[in-house]
C-alpha cells in the first residue's frame, strides 16, 4: 500500500507553526514573514510534502480538469482519429491555463452516472444535444457545459456547417452523374425525443445529402444508408458487408473520414479502383486524409479550432461568464484524388 502521505500538520509541527501558516507558505506567502515562509517550505521539501490535491479540490470546489463528454467508451473514442485533433485544440487551451482534460465515457453504460462520478469542473459535450437525457441533469446541477456538434439553447455551443458541407459533397457526386451512392453513417446515440429519426451532426449531414438529392430531382433512398463504427476498421467492415449484401455503388458519401478511409481500404481489397470504379468523399478532413492513397476528397471542418474554441468558451463559463455564445464555423469541400474534379460546364 501507498506510504502514508505527509500532511500539513506534520509539516506545521516540525516547523513549529500552525497548519494555517503552512497553507499560507504555499498559497499566500505575503501573509507571513519571508523568513518563516522559507523555513516552512524547506521543511516541506525535506518531508516531501505537498498539499493533497483531493483535499484541495474539496475545499476550493474545483479540480482544474475539463471533461470531454463522449457517448462512447474510451477505447472506441480514441480509435476515432477525430478525437486526437479535437483534443489537440482542447489541449492548447488547457496548456495555456494550466488545466487538464479528461475524456469522460459512460460509466458502466450510463453517461449520466459518469457525469456524477467524474472529477471535473465542467464539460465539453461532444455530439449530444443540451436536451439529451444525459445532459439535462448537468444543467440542473449548474455545472458549466459547452455543447459541440449538438443543439444548445441555454449554454454555449460550437458547431460547423455540417448541412452545407454535406450538401456540397453530395452535389459534387450527383453533378457527375452518380445515382448509386451509398451513404455510410455512424451509429448514433438514441435520440431522447423522437421528433426526427436523425439528429445532431449525423442528422445535419444526412439532411445536407438529402437536400442535394432533392435539388437534383432524385429520391433519397434510406435503404442505401449503412451504419458503421466510427473508425477505419468500421468503415472497412461496413463497406465489405454492403458489397456482400449486393450493393454496387459507384460513389460513397461517408459521414466521417475514418469510415471513408476504411472504405478506401476495403475497395482496394475488392480490386476496385478509386476513383475510377468508385468515387469517395469523406467528412472532417483529418490530417490522415491528405496522406491516404489515393488522397481523400472530403469536407473540411476546422477540428482543432473547434476544440480550442469549445475549451475557451468553457473556461469563460467556468470563470463565471453566464452569457451563452453560439459559434458556427464554416466547412468546405476539398477535392483530392478519391474523386474526379467537377465536370466542366
Partner DNA sequence: TAGAATTTCTAAAACCTTTTACTAAAAGGA
Partner DNA sequence: TCCTTTTAGTAAAAGGTTTTAGAAATTCTA
Which residues of the shown chain bind DNA in the complex (CB under 7 A)? 4-9, 16-24, 26-28, 31-33, 35-36, 49, 51-52, 55-56, 58-61
Cell readout for 92 is: 492548447
First to last CA, the chain: 74
Q: Does 104 bind its own copies (CB under 8 A)?
A: yes
103 vs 278, which CB is nearer to its own copies? 103
Q: Residue 116 touches which of its own copies, DNA, none (CB < 5 to 8 A by kind)?
A: its own copies
Other beta carbons within 10 angstroms of residue 98's beta carbon come to 7
Q: Does 101 bind its own copies (CB under 8 A)?
A: yes
123 vs 213, which CB is nearer to its own copies? 123
Q: Does 175 bind its own copies (CB under 8 A)?
A: no
Cell readout for 6 is: 505527509
- Looking only at the bridges linking them, the beta strands covering 332-334 and 297-300 are antiparallel
Cell readout for 257 is: 473520414
Q: What is the helix (H) or strand (E) element at residue 196, kind and residue range?
A: none
Nearest to 174 by CA among 214, 225, 213, 222: 213
Q: Residue 288 touches which of DNA, its own copies, none (CB < 5 to 8 A by kind)?
A: its own copies
312, 95 Cβ separation under 8 angstroms: no
Rg of the chain in Å (alpha carbons): 25
Cell readout for 110 is: 450510463
61 vs 223, which CB is nearer to DNA? 61
Q: Does 48 bind its own copies (CB under 8 A)?
A: yes
Separation CA 326–CA 155 (nearest Å): 8
48 vs 330, which CB is nearer to DNA? 48
Separation CA 290–CA 88 (nearest Å): 18
Residues 6+ apart with CB under 8 A from 313: 146, 156, 158, 325, 327
Q: Does 27 bind its own copies (CB under 8 A)?
A: no
195, 219 Cβ separation under 8 angstroms: no
90 vs 314, which CB is nearer to its own copies? 90
34 vs 75, which CB is nearer to its own copies? 75
Instruction: Pick the stretch among 1-9, 28-36, 175-183, 270-278 that binds its own copies (CB under 8 A).
Output: 1-9
Q: How far is the CB of 67 from DNA (least distance, A)?
A: 18
Residues in contact with its own copies by the rule CB under 8 A: 1-3, 5, 48, 50-51, 53-55, 57-58, 61, 63-65, 73-75, 77-79, 81, 83-85, 87-92, 94-95, 98, 100-105, 107-108, 116-119, 137, 140-144, 232, 261, 264-265, 287-288, 291-295, 320
Amino acid at each position: 500500500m501507498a506510504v502514508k502521505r505527509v500532511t500539513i500538520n506534520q509539516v506545521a509541527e516540525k516547523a513549529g507553526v500552525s497548519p494555517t501558516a503552512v497553507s499560507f507558505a504555499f498559497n499566500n506567502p505575503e501573509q507571513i514573514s519571508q523568513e518563516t515562509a522559507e523555513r516552512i517550505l524547506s521543511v516541506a521539501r525535506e518531508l516531501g510534502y505537498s498539499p493533497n490535491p483531493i483535499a484541495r479540490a474539496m475545499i476550493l470546489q474545483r479540480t482544474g480538469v475539463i471533461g470531454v463528454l463522449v457517448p462512447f467508451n474510451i477505447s472506441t473514442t480514441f480509435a476515432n482519429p477525430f478525437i486526437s485533433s479535437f483534443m489537440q485544440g482542447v489541449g492548447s487551451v488547457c496548456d495555456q491555463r494550466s488545466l487538464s482534460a479528461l475524456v469522460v465515457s459512460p460509466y458502466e453504460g450510463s453517461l449520466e452516472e459518469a457525469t456524477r462520478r467524474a472529477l471535473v469542473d465542467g464539460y465539453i459535450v461532444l455530439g449530444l444535444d443540451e436536451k439529451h437525457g444525459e445532459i439535462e441533469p448537468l444543467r440542473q446541477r449548474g455545472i458549466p457545459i459547452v455543447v459541440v456538434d449538438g443543439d444548445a439553447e441555454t449554454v454555449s455551443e460550437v458547431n460547423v456547417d455540417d448541412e452545407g458541407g454535406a450538401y456540397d459533397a453530395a452535389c459534387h457526386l450527383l453533378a457527375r452523374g452518380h445515382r448509386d451512392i451509398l451513404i455510410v453513417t455512424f451509429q448514433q446515440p438514441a435520440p431522447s425525443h423522437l421528433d426526427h429519426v436523425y439528429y445532431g451532426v449525423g442528422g445535419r449531414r444526412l439532411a445536407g445529402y438529402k437536400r442535394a438529392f432533392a435539388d437534383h430531382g432524385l429520391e433519397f433512398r434510406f435503404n442505401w444508408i449503412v451504419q458503421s463504427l466510427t473508425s477505419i476498421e468500421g468503415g472497412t467492415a461496413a463497406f465489405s458487408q454492403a458489397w456482400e449484401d449486393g450493393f454496387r455503388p459507384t460513389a460513397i458519401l461517408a459521414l466521417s473520414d475514418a469510415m471513408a478511409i476504411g472504405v478506401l481500404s476495403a475497395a482496394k481489397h475488392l480490386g476496385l479502383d478509386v476513383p475510377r470504379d468508385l468515387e469517395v468523399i469523406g467528412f472532417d478532413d483529418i490530417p490522415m486524409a491528405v496522406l491516404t492513397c489515393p488522397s481523400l476528397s472530403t469536407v473540411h471542418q476546422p477540428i482543432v479550432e473547434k476544440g480550442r474554441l469549445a475549451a475557451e468558451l468553457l473556461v469563460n463559463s467556468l470563470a463565471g461568464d453566464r452569457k451563452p455564445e453560439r459559434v458556427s464555423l464554416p466547412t468546405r469541400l476539398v477535392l483530392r484524388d478519391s474523386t474526379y474534379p467537377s465536370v466542366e460546364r
